[in-house]
RNA sequence: UCCCCUGUAGCUCAAUGGUAGAGCGGGCGGCUGUUAACCGCCAGGUUACUGGUUCGAGUCCAGUCGGGGGAGCCA
């Protein structure tokens, strides 16, 4: 085996590689034969959007036996000399005059190889998730996803945040962010029972009920009250029966937590983070973004440029409701009439972010009755320091809040919402020992990618999507 | 979970209740520094499944399963 040169490295500086020898390894996209005695093989190794054209002469020993049998998907290794070529549009390109070509693996039955050089529907590709990585779309998606993840870590690290690895499995029954997946080693066909007939979880692996996490927030708060600025970034699980283009049962979430911070600093952080992610995408993955503009969403690049250029709109919930009410009074048709105190419907959120402002909107200070117990009560006694960021096209992309740091107020809220204070003993301890104002938020990674690429469905923004009734691959 | 749409060749889609079709992809041949190549020929089907209406069902009806869109829940 040779160590091949990534095609990305070659394409980055064609003039530097011209007339040099190299070995490239990858998968065939297309093959065209010329009776002038050569075949053209387009080879992709996924290192960048563009493939490399191999020019294969019929003088190779395996030309008739192997080269002429190459079809889309075959894996090959080619050795030869790189030459600079002039593209029809005047751009400088590079191709390889092949001197040796080794086939690692043929495609068993080219007739049924699912990834053909043509447009496939996203639904079909979802059913071919093990091979869709070889398409232009998912290659670009995979590279952009990587770049955005790197940008997340870079942004936080540059701003003094530490990455905290919060647990995937939790026996805490106080996360309260949604339906949870159970984690158990009990024999489902033969469950141990307590004398009163209930399942005896004391015999389970952890000696109590345990689940997959729905949020790392409570855990990461513990570390914020020690390392000051922290974040989690990892998989999160919701067993909700949600069948939409914006929901996954397993998704990745970014949850920073800032000590000595209020809601405004929280929103600043969210805005800075998203802009850093998109700026990195625009500069580092221009080739892939160009493809999304051509084939998926014409606005993909200009949308991100606009996103990065202007400050987010920031309004209070009360003002947001006023705007929606005024629109309704002015004849705008909503299915649900807006009123102060309601949890805004998608249609209201869409109206604000798409019609009124045409850019991301931070909505702050929601009525306390529609928000979680841990959100900090404002001085008006009616609202909490919560914020949602709404983006055109996908709706809610961030949910965050300043946390209630006063033990007496927190306890009152826990009681008010009929929760069990004892279950929150360690969370309450944070307020008993050196409590400080702090704030944080959750950013849905796949939703952010959907926004950036224009892909309309988060199921196409993760390599292997998990949704209700669907856990293939 | 609710509402709506949908299921035909490997893929994308046609077919008024009356013989199952095309383009792409694949195979063979021709042409060509080709690049969404082009030209000719060939192969490819239990029309998702089960039942019903009808002389006759891909088409109409009922049920089941799958897929999609919207809503709710949220990120």
Residue nearest to nucleotide B1 (CA to C1'): A241
Residues A392, A397, A402: CA angle, nearest 5 degrees: 125
Give burial (CB, 10 Å; 0-12/13-18/19+) of A91. exposed
| pLDDT above 90 for A471 | no
Whole-number distance in Å between A371 CA and B49 C1': 46
- pLDDT tens, residue by residue, A8-47: 999 998 889 988 999 999 999 988 888 778 889 999 999 9
Q: Which nucleotide is closest to the Cα of A109 by its C1'? A: B26
Average pLDDT estimate for A212-218: 93
Residue nearest to nucleotide B24 (CA to C1'): A118
pTM above 0.90, yes or no: yes
The segment with the largest mean pLDDT, out of A115-119, A134-138, A275-279, A469-473, is A275-279
| Mean pLDDT in residue range A74-101 | 86
Q: What is the pLDDT of residues A325-349, one digit of tens each?
A: 999 998 888 888 999 999 999 899 9
Calculate the angstrom distance between C1' of B43 and CA of A112: 13
Per CA to C1' distance, which residue is closest to B30? A35
Per-residue pLDDT, A363: 96
Which residue, among A429, A441, A442, has the nearest Cα to A225 in the 3D structure? Answer: A429
Task: Give the nearest nucleotide to A215, CA to C1'.
Answer: B75
pLDDT at A176 over 70: no
Q: What is the pLDDT of residue A286?
A: 94
pLDDT at residue A223, as a whole number: 97
Say if residue A90's pLDDT is above 70. Answer: no
Integer Cα distance of A377 and A375 in angstroms: 6
CB-proximal positions of chain B, under 7 Å: 1-2, 10-13, 24-27, 31-37, 43, 66-75
pLDDT of residue A173: 62
Q: What is the pLDDT of residues A120-153, one digit of tens each?
A: 889 899 988 888 999 999 999 999 999 999 999 9
Sheet with A162-163: list strands edge to edge: A162-163, A229-237, A250-259, A438-444, A395-403, A383-391, A361-367, A313-316
In whole angstroms, B15 C1' to A259 CA is 67
Distance A119 CA to B55 C1' (A): 44
CA of A259 to C1' of B7 (A): 54
Which has more confidence, A160 or A471? A160
User: Among A60, A471, A178, A81, which Cα is nearest to A52's?
Assistant: A81
pLDDT computed for residue A89 by the predictor: 62
């Amino acid at each position: 085996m040779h160590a091949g040169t990534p095609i990305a490295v070659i394409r980055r500086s064609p003039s530097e590689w011209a007339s040099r020898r190299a070995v490239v390894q990858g998968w065939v996209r297309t093959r065209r034969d010329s009776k002038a005695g050569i075949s053209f093989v387009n080879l992709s190794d996924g290192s960048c959007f563009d493939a490399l054209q191999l020019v294969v002469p019929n003088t190779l020993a395996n030309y008739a036996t192997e080269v002429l049998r190459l079809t889309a998907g075959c894996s090959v290794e080619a050795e030869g000399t790189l030459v600079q070529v002039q593209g029809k549009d005047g751009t400088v390109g590079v191709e390889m005059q092949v001197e040796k070509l080794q086939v690692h693996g043929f495609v068993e039955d080219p007739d049924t190889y699912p990834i053909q050089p043509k447009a496939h529907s996203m639904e079909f590709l979802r059913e071919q998730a093990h091979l869709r990585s070889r398409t232009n779309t998912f290659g670009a998606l995979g590279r952009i996803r990587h770049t955005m993840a790197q940008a997340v870590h870079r942004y936080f690290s540059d701003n003094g945040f530490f990455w905290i690895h919060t647990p995937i499995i939790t026996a805490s029954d106080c996360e309260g962010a949604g339906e949870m997946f159970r984690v158990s080693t009990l024999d489902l066909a033969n469950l141990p029972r307590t004398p009163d007939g209930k399942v005896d979880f004391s015999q389970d692996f952890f000696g109590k009920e345990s689940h997959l996490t729905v949020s790392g927030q409570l855990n990461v708060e513990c570390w914020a009250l020690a390392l000051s600025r922290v974040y989690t970034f990892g998989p999160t699980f919701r067993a909700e029966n949600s069948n939409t283009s914006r929901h996954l049962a397993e998704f990745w979430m970014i949850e920073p937590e800032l000590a000595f911070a209020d809601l405004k600093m929280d929103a600043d952080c969210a805005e800075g983070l998203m802009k850093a992610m998109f700026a990195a995408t625009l500069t580092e993955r221009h080739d892939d973004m160009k493809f999304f503009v051509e084939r998926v969403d014409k606005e993909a690049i200009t949308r991100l440029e606009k996103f990065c250029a202007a400050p987010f709109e920031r309004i209070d919930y009360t003002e947001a409701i006023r705007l929606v009410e005024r629109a309704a009074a002015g004849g705008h048709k909503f299915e649900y009439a807006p009123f102060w105190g309601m949890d805004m419907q998608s249609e209201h959120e869409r109206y604000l972010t798409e019609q009124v402002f045409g850019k991301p909107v931070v909505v702050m200070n929601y009525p306390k009755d529609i928000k979680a117990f841990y959100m900090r009560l404002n001085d008006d006694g009616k609202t909490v320091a919560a914020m949602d960021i709404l983006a055109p096209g996908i709706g809610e992309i961030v949910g965050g809040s300043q946390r209630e740091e006063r033990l007496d107020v927190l306890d009152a809220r826990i009681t008010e919402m009929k929760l069990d204070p004892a279950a929150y003993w360690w969370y309450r301890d944070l307020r008993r020992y050196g409590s400080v104002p702090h704030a944080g938020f959750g950013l849905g990674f796949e939703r952010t990618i959907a926004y950036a690429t224009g892909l309309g469905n988060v199921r196409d923004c993760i390599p292997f999507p998990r949704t209700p009734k669907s856990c293939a691959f």
